[in-house]
Structure formats: structure tokens, C-alpha cells
Structure 1
Amino acid sequence: MWIDTHCHLDAREFGGESLRVAADAAAAGVSMIVIPAIDVGNFDAVAQLGAGAPNACYALGIHPICVPAATDDHLVALRQRVAAAMSDPRFVAIGEVGLDFFLPHLAEPAMREKQIRFFREQLKIAREFGLPILTHVRKSQDQVLKHIRQIPPAGGIAHAFNGSFQQAQGYLDLGFKLGFGGNLTFTRALQIRRLAEQLPLSGIVMETDAPDIAPQWVHPGVNTPRQVPAIGAALAQLRGIGVDEVRDVTTANAHVVMPRLAALMPPGADG
């Protein structure tokens, strides 16, 4: 079975049909979908989907794009919610957190500093509770790595990885896995395809980032978690190996980096 390690199942693009989308993915062989939060306003939504879909679990965090409107009270609320969620087996990670210096308003000095402060505070929460993180990284690979080294969580996933081989090794050395999805299906995405082909398979997990980052055959439509097996097949073709190997290894990798997710899986679900 496959795992989608990053899917915004609560997104409005799914038109209120998120449970049907999850069931459709399950029918396609996706045994688990990890749903990251983006701010305090959707903590309830991701937790409810984690409870409502048999093949879903969730993470809690404040996304860097949401940092401009966030306050210190939101960090307090996050920590309190994480503490309460530790008794919920469907809660598996801190995320989506990180740094985004791509968008102009986020790259301004004051906002860069606020993002860094929020990221570091969320790293502290992850470390306090022994949780992995799901990172958002745009034009900030080295900065994200720097702060992870200074406040190391219990591993994590570099979501939608698109850095250098050296940066990839930096994440792997810190116990992270690297998320690959629909981008690798585009022949023009030369760097992502080189990374997906040449990085050790033991360091890769599958993701969709649905409803975004649709694979070539869906673009520009709405991406869904049922695309994971086909994206995995594209990865297998790039690497010249069998699809079953990609499925089994990437599923095992997700279990390693998110132990609470592994505890949810029925025996034999990684095959």
C-alpha cells in the first residue's frame, strides 16, 4: 500500500467531498494520507478528517504563509493543542512549518525574522514532544537546515524537495526524508527528476501536496491523493526499478520518519 505524506485534504478545492476523495484514494491503494494544518483556524478541520477517514491522519502547525497574520497567542494555542493531541493516535507530526522567502512580502526583512522566530518556536514544540516535522521550504533551504541543526526535532520530511544534492544530504544526515510528488512527472523539471533518480531510495517518501502540484496528466486540474500510485510508477520508471519496490521502500520510509503513523497501519499494509 502507498502513503501520501502530504495532502491538504481539507482544502476548498475538494468542494466538501474530502471523505469521498480519501475513500477514492483508498480504493486506488493509498493506505494513509497525512493532512498537515496551516494555522490555528484549520486545526479542527484536519483533526476531524483524521477521525473521519479510515486512511487519514494529521499534523498541526503554522505555515510560513500564515505567519504574517499569526500572533504569539497562536503559538501558545499550538502547544496546548499538541499536548492534548498526543493522546490521539491519528496525530503524527508538527506541520506544515518552515520558511518561505519566495513570495516578495514574505522576503521582507521584518517578515523573514518573524518567520524564523515562528519556525524556531515550532521546532521547540516538536522537540519537546518528540515529534517529526513536515517542512515547507522555498528559497530557504540553507536557512531551514541551519535552524533544524540548532533545534533538532525527531526527524521529519522536507516537503516538495527541490534543493541541491548537498542540501539533500544535509536533511538525510539529520534523519529526514525527502518528499517527491507530481513535479517529477514533468520532463522539463530536470533538477527534480535528477534528484528523484539519483538520491538513495531509502531517503524518499511519496506525496501529492493535493490539491496542488498535480502530475503532468492532471495538470492544470485539481490534484488528489489517488495519484500517488501513478506518481510512484513514474518514479520507478525514472530509476529503472519495479513499482513494487518503490511502493514498499517509500512506505517503510514514511513509517520510519513518522513512528506514530506506523502504529496506525494494519499488519502487512506496507506491502
Structure 2
Amino acid sequence: MIDSHCHLDLPEFEPDWQDVLSSAVSKGVERILIPGTTVSGWQRQQDMAADNAQLDVAFGLHPYFFPDEPDNALAALREQLQTTTIKPVAIGEIGVDGAIDTPIEAQQALFEAQLEMASEQSLPVILHHRRSHHLLLESIKRSRFTQGGVIHAFSGSEQVARQYIDAGFKLGVGGTITYSRAQKTRQTVANIPLQHLLLETDAPDMPMSGRQGARNEPQFIGEVVAALAELHGITPEVVTEQTTANYFALFGSRTQCK
């Protein structure tokens, strides 16, 4: 199993992140991808991955933490991509958030600048969405972006899902589908072929059903596998095999990226 979206670098994991990683590996988690969110966090991601071969990283500027000086932040991202000792497998987590006060125009400008950078670096992207599918699709089309990527924590209609797939993206599937009340997302995921899906936890957030109020961890990703297997009427082994292949098809591996 591969957790394609886990914020193992956040303060919630600082006291015991190595134990969390070990627990995940013992439960069959082969790799974990840590997406970047701020300039200040990239070095920690790099340091963590340098000592742990199971970790992949992505660097990006998350709209929720919109930088005070966007141009300087973009310059820092470009420098990070050129100087990092651990080459990223993607640019992300980037996107547009329709539920925050930052003007949409500013968010889209930052997003599209990062799409351009990803194109230059021949890297896929990890996309954040909240009330913004139409804006993301608009920017992808306007930017003529063709590197593909993943829509993190996808929720939405099958029509929207297929628009992303047609644009070369995969859908990140996490703890949401373990809740019986999430009927819309569960139905959409059930109707999408497995080759378009990736597993994720978004740990420490988005806990699985029955684990509300507790810190989410990558070791619980097997519960997403079980839910996905049930929705598709297949075995967990098939889910694991296909989503692992999907991950490497999209992101490659650190060995291939050196």
C-alpha cells in the first residue's frame, strides 16, 4: 500500500514521526508521499526523506497558507527545485480554496505560476480543492497543463471526476469513503475505474470512520483499501496492487528521479 498524501512533517507528528512511520511500514505501507505547503516547511521534508527511503516529497505553496509576498515565495520554490538534495516527485500541495478570504484572482495566479513551473520541471502536481473544481479545471485548461497529477481528497460528482481524468489526473481517495453517510463520494468512486485512483490518508487530518477525534495515521490506510474493495466488489489485494501501480505510473520513484 502507498499513502499518496500524508503530512508527516506537521507538528502533530514531531514527537514520534519515526514511530508512526515504523508502524505504517509494519502494516504494509510501502511508501508515503509528504506534500509541501509552505517555504518554511520544505527543509524539514527534505531532511526527513534523506534518512528514510520510504518517503517521497513534493514541494509547493498551499493556498490556505497564502504567502505575504507571492513573487518571493515563487522564487524560493524555483530555488528549492534547483538545489534540493532530495528530488521531488511532484509540485504540491497547490490549488484554489473557495472557502478562505484570499481573493480568488490572487490564488489562481499563484496556482497557475506553479503549474507553469511543474511544466518546466516535467513534474505532476498535487491539487487542493474546496468549492473550486470549476476554477481548477479552468486554470488547467488556460495553462495548457499536460503533466497530470492527483486531485487530493476528491469529492464531487462523477462528471467532475471524469473531467479531471480526461485532463490526465488521478483521484485521491481517503477516509471519506469509510463513512456510510458520504454517499455521493462513495457512489462516484464506485463508478470510476480503479486505474484512476490513488490511496491517501491526509494524516493527521481526515480520520477514518470510528476514529473521529483521534490523530489520523498512515498505518490506517488499510481501512481505505477495505472500503474501496467493497465499493468495487473486488479483493483488497487487487486494490493494493492497482493503486500501487497507479502511484508509480504517475510519480515514478526516487530512484528513477535521481
Task: Confirm or deny a common fold (TM above 0.5).
Answer: yes
Q: TM-score w.r.t. structure 1 length?
A: 0.90
Q: What is the deviation of 1:146?
A: 1.3
1:227 aligns with 2:224: no
Amino acid at match of 2:179: F
Amino acid at match of 2:63: P
What is the CA–CA distance in structure 1 between the aligned matches of 2:142 and 2:255, rounded to whole Å? 27
- Which residue is 2:167 aligned to? 174
- Which residue is 1:30 aligned to? 29
- Which residue is 2:90 aligned to? 93
Amino acid at match of 1:128: E
Distance 1:27 1:3, change over 3 A: same
What is the CA–CA distance in structure 1 between the aligned matches of 2:121 and 2:133, rounded to whole Å? 24
What is the CA–CA distance in structure 2 between the aligned matches of 1:70 and 1:10, rounded to whole Å? 23
Alignment of 1:185-196 (within 5 A): 185-196=178-189
Classify the secondary structure of the residue corresponding to 1:69: coil
Q: Which of these residues, 112, 116, 119, is aligned with residue 104 of structure 2?
A: 112
What is the CA–CA distance in structure 2 between the aligned matches of 1:153 and 1:261, rounded to whole Å? 21
Q: TM-score w.r.t. structure 2 length?
A: 0.95
8 A Cα contact 1:94 1:134, kept in partner: yes
What is the CA–CA distance in structure 1 between the aligned matches of 2:32 and 2:168, rounded to whole Å? 21
Cα-Cα RMSD: 1.5
Alignment of 1:1-271 (within 5 A): 2-85=1-84, 88-89=86-87, 91-103=88-100, 105-106=101-102, 111-151=103-143, 152-260=145-253, 263=256
Describe the superposition over 1:123-143 as per-residue Cα deviations: whole angstroms up to 9, x where unpaired: 010000000000001100011
Percent identity, aligned pairs only, is 36
Q: What is the deviation of 1:190?
A: 0.9
What is the CA–CA distance in structure 1 between the aligned matches of 2:67 and 2:38, rounded to whole Å? 11
Distance 1:153 1:19, change over 3 A: farther
Q: How many residues align?
A: 256
Amino acid at match of 1:97: I
Describe the superposition over 1:128-185 as per-residue Cα deviations: whole angstroms up to 9, x where unpaired: 0000000001100011011112220411000000122111111111211100000100
